[in-house]
Amino acid sequence: MVFAEDSAGEEFIFAMHISIGVLLAMLLLARIAARALIKPPELPEGFTALDKRMAHAGHLALYILPAVIITLGWAETDFGGHGVTLFGIPMPKLFPTMDTWMGIKLEDFTSENHEILAWTLLAVVVLHVAAAVKHRMAGHDVLYRMGIGKK
């Protein structure tokens, strides 16, 4: 279903998108705190040096990309003067309402990069799942690292 621009349906979807983004920001902060407090298990034996580097890079991307995507979305909403809400509860304004900065249309810039990085995150998640399946099939039990199963 496609909604007309500025229709009630589009406004509802936009509000839900923002609220889910705020919830994801809260969950990401909780995850970062847990990661700082709880050391993850070692990577399984049999990982090559390249496997280890790729695992660390992938995990880092799974923290950094959501943080940047959420920040860009929040900035886009604030720059446009819409205000971020969590299911109707106003959230702090982190960015000023501004149209341009140094010739850059801020709402457009943040919107485009928010979308590009969201697709990038989807690709990283697909690769991450594929790597987990590959290692599971190779006999490396990586799922216990996520708390699924036992070592």
pLDDT band at 130 (very low <50, low <70, confident <90, very high): very high
Contacts 24+ apart (CB under 8 A), 79-83: 79/106, 79/107, 79/110, 80/107
pLDDT at 127 over 90: yes
Least confident interval from 53-57, 84-88, 98-102, 124-128: 98-102
Phi, psi of 56 (to 5 degrees): -65, -40
Structure token digits, residue 129: 């799942």
pLDDT at 19 over 70: yes
Q: What is the pTM of this model?
A: 0.85
For range 94-104, the mean pLDDT: 88
Domain range annotation of the chain: 8-146
Tokens 């990577």 belong to residue: 43
pLDDT at 9 over 90: no
For range 30-34, the mean pLDDT: 93
Task: Quickly list DSSP for 31-69.
Answer: HHHHHHHSPPPPPPTT--HHHHHHHHHHHHHHHHHHHHH
Cα-trace Rg, the chain: 19
